[in-house]
């Protein structure tokens, strides 16, 4: 059996290339660029980067970004970041065709976000994410999934109000 790659601290690494949904490819193949295992972004940067990956239909990569922030965030936000990562990996499983895994992770992510709906930090659109995950879970239960599931917006859109203040709203999904 071949010796496994390890980092300087002896932690096992998986150097195999991966496709856009995070599935391992054959050694020596060409995959998509990977998110570094040690990436730890502050919340605003993590949300921006994760949204970029979601918009590119690369939810596994979004999950990796969100997981890094979950592992380094303040204790009061751990459930939030874990829930966001679970929603992203749930979407990954759905796009890979694993409906059972998708439903389980979407439900877990949804349930972790509920406690943040009243006062969501970092302009995270918790209400929108809860609705998005509930819709997907219902579609999974009824078997009426679209061929290409929609991508969630992690943050509420912000625009200037007429009084010079900031008005947050959920973007129109049509």
Higher pLDDT, 35 or 55: 55
pLDDT above 70 for 82: yes
Higher pLDDT, 5 or 1: 5
Percent of the chain with pLDDT over 90: 58
Confidence of residue 37 (pLDDT cuts 50, 70, 90): confident
Higher pLDDT, 49 or 15: 49
Domains of the chain (ranges; CATH) run 43-169 (1.10.3450.10)
Higher pLDDT, 1 or 83: 83
Average pLDDT over residues 66-78: 94
pLDDT averaged over every residue in the chain: 83
Confidence of residue 75 (pLDDT cuts 50, 70, 90): very high
Read off the pTM.
0.80
Q: Which of 14-28, 31-45, 107-121 has the lowest mean pLDDT?
A: 14-28
Instruction: Please tell me the predicted confidence (pLDDT) of residue 11.
Output: 66
**pLDDT per position as a tens digit, 137-170:** 999 999 887 777 888 999 987 654 433 333 333 3
Average pLDDT over residues 102-112: 97
DSSP sequence for the chain: -PPPPB-TT--B---S-B-TTS-B--TT---BPPPPTT----HHHHHHHHHHHHHTT-HHHHHHHHHHHHHHS-GGGHHHHHHHHHHHHHHHHHHHT-HHHHHHHHHHHHHHHGGGSSS-GGGB-HHHHHHHHHHHHHHHHHT---SSPPPPPSB-EEEE-TTSSEEEEPPP--
């Amino acid at each position: 059996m071949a010796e496994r790659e390890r980092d300087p601290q002896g932690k096992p690494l998986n150097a195999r290339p991966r496709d856009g949904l995070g599935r391992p490819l054959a050694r020596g193949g060409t995959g998509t660029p990977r998110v570094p295992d040690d990436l730890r972004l502050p919340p605003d940067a993590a949300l921006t980067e994760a949204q970029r990956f979601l918009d590119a239909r690369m939810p596994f990569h979004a999950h990796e970004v969100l997981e890094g922030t979950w592992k380094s965030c303040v204790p009061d936000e751990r459930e939030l970041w874990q829930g966001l990562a679970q929603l992203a990996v749930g979407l990954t499983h759905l796009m890979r065709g694993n409906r059972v895994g998708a439903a389980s992770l979407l439900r877990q992510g949804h349930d972790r976000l509920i406690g943040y709906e009243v006062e969501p930090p970092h302009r995270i659109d918790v209400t929108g994410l809860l609705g998005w995950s509930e819709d997907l879970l219902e579609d999974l239960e009824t078997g009426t999934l679209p061929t290409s599931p929609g991508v969630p917006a992690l943050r509420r859109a912000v625009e200037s109000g007429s009084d010079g203040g900031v008005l947050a709203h959920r973007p129109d999904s049509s």
